[in-house]
Amino acid sequence: MIPVVEKGSSPLLLAQPHGGTEIPQSIMARLNQHGQAQADTDWHISRLYAGLVANVTIVSTPVHRYVIDANRDPADESLYPGQNTTSLCPTTTFDGNPIYHHGQAPSIDEINQRQRLYHQPYHDALREQLERIHQLHGYAILYDCHSIRSLVPYLFEGKLPDFNIGTNSGSSCDPAIESAVATICSAANDYSAVSNGRFKGGWTTRHYGDPEQGFHAIQMELAQCNYMLEQKPWTYADDKAGKLRVILADVLQHLSTLLD
The pLDDT tens digits for 38-83 are 999 999 999 999 999 999 999 999 999 999 999 999 987 867 776 7
Question: How many other CB atoms are found less than 10 A from the CB of residue 129?
Answer: 22
Question: How many other CB atoms are found less than 10 A from the CB of residue 136?
Answer: 13
> What CATH code is assigned to 4-257?
3.40.630.40
The domains of the chain are located at 4-257
Q: What is the pTM of this model?
A: 0.96
Q: What is the DSSP letter of 160?
A: P
Backbone angles phi, psi at 222, to 5 degrees: -100, 140
Residue spans of the chain under pLDDT 70: 78, 82, 84
pLDDT at 86: 84
pLDDT at 199: 93
pLDDT at 75: 87
Decide: 71 and 122 in contact? Cβ < 8 Å: no
The sign one gets for the Cα dihedral 65, 70, 74, 76 is negative
Collapse the DSSP code of 98 into the 3-class scheme (helix H, G, I; strand E, B; otherwise coil) and give the result.
strand
pLDDT at 85: 77
Residue among 204, 79, 192 nearest 141 (CA): 204
How far is the C-alpha of 73 from the C-alpha of 186, rounded, in Å?
30
pLDDT at 82: 64
